[in-house]
Amino acid sequence: MAVTQPSDGLAYPLKPVRLGIDTHQELVVYLRRNSHVCRSEGFTSSSRVQIRVGERWILATLSIIDNDQLLQPGEMGLSESAWKKLDPPPGSEAQVRHADPVLSLSHLRHKVYGHRLNQEQTQAIIDDIVAGRYSDVHLSSFVTACAGNSLDQDEIIALTTAMLKSGRKLDWGHQRVVDKHCVGGLAGNRTTPIVVAIVTACGGIMPKTSSRAITSPAGTADTMATMAPVNLDLKTLRKVVTEHGGCLAWGGSVNLSPADDVLIRVERMLDLDSEGQMVASVLSKKAAAGSHHVLIDIPIGPTAKVRSEEAADLLSRHLIETGKALGLDVKVVRTDGTQPVGRGIGPALEAKDLLAVLRNQPEAPQDLRERALFLAAELLEMAGLCEPGKGLQKATETLDSGAALKKFIAICDAQGGFTEPNMAPYQYNWQATKSGRITGIDNRQLSQLAKLAGAPEDPTAGVTLEVKLNTSIKPGQLLLTLHADSPGELQYAVDFLEAHPQMIEIS
């Protein structure tokens, strides 16, 4: 909803009707083509309009309907997202009028034609995005115009600063608040909950707010949601961090860099996660959460998001320089991105992996354990919680003693209660048809396979990978298991798997 009162002007009273149409987060209003409003105002489909009920108002995209049975004369239909945002009282009347011109669209066109954006122009765009003045078409144009390498270092800093200013900024009263982020592109790799548990068990402060998945089959918030509530209000988040040193929450629930959540929704639809916007997304959220020291994990591999050392060099420079501009101490580490980490790919399956590590179970994936310990060790040293060079020892002792598990459960309970992740009701086992050695595992295709099975929308859907690179296999040996919530989704994923058997290469 916009933050200022719309300008006065001619408006037409209509009765709002909840049509129950899911338009995701886009606000949509529906009018009959023969309504007096459409005729007098010259409204057409895709027009941007202001709708007001009392003091509450929204900007929405108009859709025209020709089926007179859906709406009666004098009625206005609202999509689910528009209805929830406007929240009209029973019996109320809504007024609809043309939306005021969005002046920052001239800056967007400036960028579309290949010109640079300065801080003032970028701030105007972000302010309008947060205020809801951009339709999905405008948002898609902005995301696309900033994709690839079209943002230089100054533009990335401007975008990050604008996104940070668009919401609230937390302050914990400490100078050693830490956070971590993985740039992604590596299936599985759900180290964050383990790292938060270890660092906070050692006395560190780590208010971890995470995004949901953009192009992957699970984000940290998606995985955590299978074990504990993540949609925390600000009061609850502050209480959890104050009492336990950290949290594992969804950042969108506490208005931290709110523009980021809008852009992520569009990036997800476009299947884009561009470098400049990723830097702005990550660091604006870290700064907004009150962090001072940030560890960035960049996995490098042929099918990871970052495929070469040269690409990692460029991304590292952007992250470090942007961090400096925001007053953040950013450290970048490079890790192996040649194959998935852990066994599970998908929210609940990744949750089971990280719980096995925290519980020190013999069957816990050792690669996930070792990577989490490495990252936790780096953060412990950055936070001054141990002597230089002693981070790995301290992290290992904290995990092995059960202190990390105890802290993790305490954080989950404080956020609303811990629950064991569920399992999907339908599975399909894919077995090797020949003997040989695993010489390649395609991260991207495995992630796509998990998404086709239903992840992350279906939390229990995904893939369990049963092999690693360079392991020897025999005919009939299990390579992976598909998990789905319905037979149709399972078959959809099986069809893709059978069409792409090379996602696991056997030589």
Residues labelled as active-site residues: 273
271-292 burial string, b = 16+ CB within 10 Å, else e? Answer: ebbbbbbbbbbbbbbbbbbbbb
The residue whose two tokens read 């899911």 is 22
Whole-number Å distance between alpha carbons of 435 and 453: 27
Q: Which of 56, 64, 51, 69 is nearest to 4 (CA)?
A: 56
Torsion angle of the four alpha carbons 161, 162, 165, 166, in this order, in degrees rounded to the nearest 10: -150
Both tokens of 204, joined, read 């560190």
C-beta of residue 329 within 8 angstroms of C-beta of residue 293: yes
Q: Which of 423, 420, 375 is nearest to 396 (CA)?
A: 375
Q: Which of 307, 139, 281 is nearest to 210 (CA)?
A: 281
Whole-number Å distance between alpha carbons of 457 and 462: 10
C-beta of residue 346 within 8 angstroms of C-beta of residue 423: no
The residue whose two tokens read 């895709």 is 46
The DSSP letter of residue 27 is -
Whole-number Å distance between alpha carbons of 148 and 162: 20
C-beta of residue 415 within 8 angstroms of C-beta of residue 230: yes
Helix, strand, coil percentages for the chain (3-state, nearest 5): 40, 20, 40
Both tokens of 226, joined, read 């299978």
**79 sits in which H/E element:** none
